[in-house]
């Protein structure tokens, strides 16, 4: 028993999810076979139909309110209109004026498959669910850049489950109306960078007293690595978490991006 518990705790979240799914399927199959054997095939079909009906009802209840919210929001302010309004504000930064190092660092820090998925990263979502269910029951961020952009433009942080479901329902239309570059551009201009700073222009001025166009490579990485949790990964608030996150982002950059590393000087 002790060996089994040790083996379970050494499993990764993905392995735990697979084990849970496999075990559950065996139990459900055994229960249904037993019911069919004891009470007959018609009773078994009736029970399966009842379970399917309950699951369908649960899904309708789960998605009905978020669907109405998403439809109402997009009816009054569709993504194209929101983009035109926000991009016309003073201080808005166009993507082609920003350093490539900043763009790549943000993608590595926040959504490594941003240009490959269609708004929802299902693999990352499954890993987050597995981590929540089979480790310490603490939520892990799995939102894509598109989802975070929707949250910052349209929604509020309250009602976590409702908001998450609404985000997922709103993703498809935003990805349809706007290009990936436009979504990323919006994200960089509306996301919170900590210390009361929203948007890349305010963040560059506050942290480094410069404009986004003149950010160095190290400054780009530093700004990107605080985004997942600005209050926690901020260098002034927590130097240890900041350095840990920075190493992770740099590792992703070295693996996935092409930069002239020999010409770079990284600050401690």
User: For 89-143, what is each residue's pLDDT tens digit?
Assistant: 999 999 999 999 999 999 988 888 899 888 888 776 676 566 555 555 454 556 8
User: In order of start, what are the domains of the chain with their CATH numbers?
Assistant: 78-259 (1.10.3810.10)
Taking alpha carbons only, the member of 144, 106, 135 closest to residue 252 is 106
How far is it, in rounded angstroms, from Cα 207 to Cα 90?
20
Residue 135's contacts (CB-CB under 8 Å, 6 or more residues apart) are 13, 16
Would you report the helix, strand and coil content of the chain in percent, each value rounded to 5? 70, 0, 30
Q: At what angle do helices 100-110 and 217-225 cross, to 10 degrees?
A: 30
Q: What is the pLDDT of residue 191?
A: 93
**Global model pTM greater than 0.75:** no
Return the H-helix or E-strand segment holding 160: helix 160-177
Q: For residues 2 and 53, give the distance between their C-alpha atoms in angstroms, rounded to a whole number.
A: 41
Work out the average pLDDT over 56-64. 73
pLDDT (tens digit per residue) in 64-80: 778 888 889 899 999 99
Smallest Cα–Cα separation from 171: which of 141, 150, 187?
150
């Amino acid at each position: 028993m002790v060996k089994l518990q040790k083996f379970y705790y050494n499993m990764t979240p993905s392995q735990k999810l697979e084990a849970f799914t496999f075990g559950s399927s065996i139990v459900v199959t055994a229960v249904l076979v037993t019911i069919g054997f004891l009470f007959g095939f018609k009773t078994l079909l009736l029970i399966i139909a009842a379970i399917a009906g309950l699951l369908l009802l649960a899904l309708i209840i789960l998605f009905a309110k978020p669907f109405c919210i998403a439809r109402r929001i997009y009816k009054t302010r569709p993504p194209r209109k929101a983009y035109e309004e926000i991009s016309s504000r003073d201080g808005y930064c166009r993507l082609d004026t920003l350093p490539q190092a900043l763009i790549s660092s943000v993608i590595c820090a926040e959504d490594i498959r941003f240009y490959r998925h269609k708004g929802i990263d299902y693999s990352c979502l499954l890993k987050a669910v597995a981590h929540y269910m089979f480790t310490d029951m603490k939520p892990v961020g799995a939102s894509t850049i598109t989802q975070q952009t929707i949250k910052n433009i349209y929604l509020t942080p309250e009602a976590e489950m409702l908001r998450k479901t609404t985000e997922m329902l709103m993703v498809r239309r935003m990805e349809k109306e706007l290009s990936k570059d436009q979504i990323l551009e919006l994200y960089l201009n509306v996301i919170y960078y900590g210390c009361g700073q929203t948007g890349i222009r305010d963040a560059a001025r506050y942290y480094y007293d410069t404009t986004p166009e003149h950010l160095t490579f190290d400054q780009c990485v530093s700004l990107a690595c605080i985004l997942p949790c600005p209050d926690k990964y901020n260098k002034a608030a927590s130097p240890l978490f900041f350095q840990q996150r920075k190493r992770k982002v740099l590792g992703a950059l070295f693996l996935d991006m092409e930069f002239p590393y020999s010409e770079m000087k990284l600050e401690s």
